[in-house]
Structure 1
């Protein structure tokens, strides 16, 4: 049913659950699992970060750590991708590039208290493939 599953992570509890679900699905369907983490520098203000490479570097290191965690705590092979940009756009772009059959995202992110976070809502709304929110 699924050949390639893409999971997005930002380190939030819902994203951690999404990784667990994606791993279970990949194991069940013997699917390739791809994980993405997106550094959204807009969240902190482009002008504030434009001259400070140490903050961007810290954000990228955190994203790399999240992806490494997804690789080490799973029983399946996970290919990873770290990107900069708007999360929903980069998730959509990577889903297209990896020909993902399913995208798994947490229903809320790090700063969201809404029922569904803005990134999850945008992925569901604008990506042209099945999306599972966890």
Structure 2
């Protein structure tokens, strides 16, 4: 049913649950799995000789670590995971990457680090669900 799956992470608890679901789906369908972390340029400045450069670099390194953890979990299940860390607006980058790889399924957490806990879906997840034009699994 699924040949290519994309999971997005920000390292939150819901994103970690999303990664678990994505790995399960990839294993069940013998699908190719991609994982993406987006450094939100609305929250963190683009690296340029400034005082925020170190913070942006730290977020990117943290994102790479989160992606490595997903790849390691995939390796344990004999699933190769292609990772992508990029900068931009998270929902735009997630949708663009899903389009680029022609993902059959996008897997996201209900809300991430930037969203207050509660009943309302996170803004990134909401925008991806409404604009992706493909199936989106939302992990809670």
* TM-score, with length taken from structure 1: 0.93
Q: Is residue 105 of structure 2 the alignment partner of residue 82 of structure 1?
A: no
- 2:102 aligns to what? 99
1:12 CA drift (Å)? 0.3
- 2:53 aligns to what? 53
Q: Distance in 2 between matches of 1:104 and 1:28?
A: 15
- 1:132 aligns to what? 137
1:92 CA drift (Å)? 0.3
> SS of 2:85's equivalent?
strand
1:43 CA drift (Å)? 1.8
Stretches of structure 2 lacking an aligned partner (at least 5 in a row): none
Q: 1:122 aligns with which of 120, 127, 130?
A: 127
Runs of 4+ deviating beyond 3 Å: none
- 1:41 aligns to what? 41
* TM-score, with length taken from structure 2: 0.89
1:41 CA drift (Å)? 2.8
Q: Distance in 1 between matches of 2:61 and 2:25?
A: 28
Say how many residue pairs are matched. Answer: 132
- 2:32 aligns to what? 32
* Higher share of residues assigned helix: 1
RMSD: 1.5
